Amino acid sequence: MILCAGEALIDMIPNEGGAYVPHVGGAVLNTAVALGRLGEDVGLITGLSSDPFGTMIADHMTASHVSTDHAVRSDRNTTLAFVHLDQGNATYTFYDADTATRNIQPSDIAAVPAGTKAVFFGGISLCNPPVADSLLDLALSQPADRLVMADPNIRPGFVSDQDGYRTRLTKLIGRADIVKLSDDDIGWLIPDGDLATKAQAILDMGTKMLLLTEGGDGATAYLANGTRVRVAAEKAQVVDTVGAGDTFNAGCLAALQRAGALSPAAIETLDESTITDMLTLAARAAAVTVSRAGANPPWANELE
């Protein structure tokens, strides 16, 4: 099994008339849904409210073959994210205080099952305590032979304590075997230097592989052993970018699982062919997501 740990929320997305319509979303939930649709055994550690939006989220997870067994149930409200679209590019306003995910404590999270191969962390759940500290504790507690992947999906305007957030991310990157960052993310973390210099700075923090995405300019994998592989972006008619990076994450994890390489030891010695296949599947899956409204990742048969 692959476990994803982080937020499940409701994206309020404007329709053609400008009215906001609820859609199930959240960066980490989107990654879990994309994994489920690609045929992987996946569960989600998240806060799941008893409110109607929580029911929407649970139903969406089940429909996409994502296990709800690891959710932390509560009566707190569901996080809402109002999406603002500008020529297909999305920015967000979050309503997250005192919500089902935001208030997860370390004691709320059950032990990760022994058969779990990988745990994925990311999204706004890494921004602010208490859930941010709870997830960092969970990441740092994973055994050395279990793969950890992280995609901070940085939202600077949502962070209450910038220094604390940077410290948290540095610790997470140091434990993660794979880190995915967009060009905007890495620019926030490492302000100076070209992309190659910034990528090396991330590798120097301790991760084994950095996946750097540059939107329509493609994606590059940088390995600590010096290997570098770049793949062009797939052609797509962009409707919006909601969920694109999350789908990319799922494509990478699914490809590594299929290649028998979903382990820390395997990441250190990946060959260029396996890396190319991984990036290609991830790019193809993300291209489908951007071609339709909202976070709507493809099913496996759509990529055949």
Distance from CA of residue 174 to its chain's centroid? Answer: 17
Q: Where is pLDDT greater, at 126 or 304?
A: 126
Examine residue 47 and state whether it is found in any structural domain, yes or no.
yes
Q: CA–CA separation, 49 vs 76, rounded Å?
A: 6
- pLDDT bin (cut points 50, 70, 90) of residue 151 is very high
Q: Which residues are registered as beta bridge partners of 94?
A: 81
User: To the nearest whole number, what is the mean pLDDT of the chain?
Assistant: 95
- Is the pLDDT assigned to residue 90 strictly greater than 80? no
Contact 37, 300 (CB under 8 A): yes
Give me the number of domains the chain comprises: 1
Summarize pLDDT for 2-37 with one digit per residue, the tens: 999 999 999 898 888 889 999 999 999 999 999 999
- What was the pLDDT predicted at 157? 87
Over pLDDT 90: what percentage of the chain? 86
Using CB atoms within 10 Å of the CB of residue 6, give its burial: 0 to 12 exposed, 13 to 18 middle, 19+ buried.
buried
In a domain, 108, yes or no: yes
Cα dihedral angle (265, 268, 271, 273), rounded to 10 degrees? 80
Asked if residue 302 is part of any domain, the answer here is no
DSSP characters for 221-254? Answer: EEETTS-EEEEPPPP---S--TTHHHHHHHHHHH
Name the least confident of 67-71, 103-107, 290-294: 290-294
Determine, yes or no, domain membership for 65: yes
Note whether residue 303 is domain-resident. no
What are the pLDDT digits (tens) for 181-227?
999 999 999 999 999 999 999 999 999 999 999 988 999 999 999 99
AA letter at 95: Y
Structure tokens that stand for 111 in this block: 């032990």
Indicate whether 304 belongs to any domain. no
pLDDT band at 88 (very low <50, low <70, confident <90, very high): low
The average pLDDT across 50-71 equals 98
Q: Is residue 112 part of a domain?
A: yes
Look at 91-100, 176-185, 224-233, 262-271 and tell me which has the smallest mean pLDDT. Answer: 91-100
Whole-prediction pTM value? 0.95
209-221: string of b/e by CB count within 10 Å (b at 16+)? bbbbbebeeebbb
Q: How far apart are CA 158 and CA 264, in angstroms?
A: 31
β-strands 72-74, 66-67: how paired?
unpaired
- For the stretch 29-60, pLDDT in tens is 999 999 999 999 999 999 999 999 999 999 99
User: What residues form DSSP beta bridges with 91?
Assistant: 84
Average pLDDT of the segment spanning 264-285: 97
Assign 261 a pLDDT band (cuts: 50, 70, 90).
very high
Residue 236 structural domain: 2-297
Instruction: Identify the DSSP state of 215.
Output: G
Q: What is the pLDDT of residue 241?
A: 79
CATH number at residue 132: 3.40.1190.20
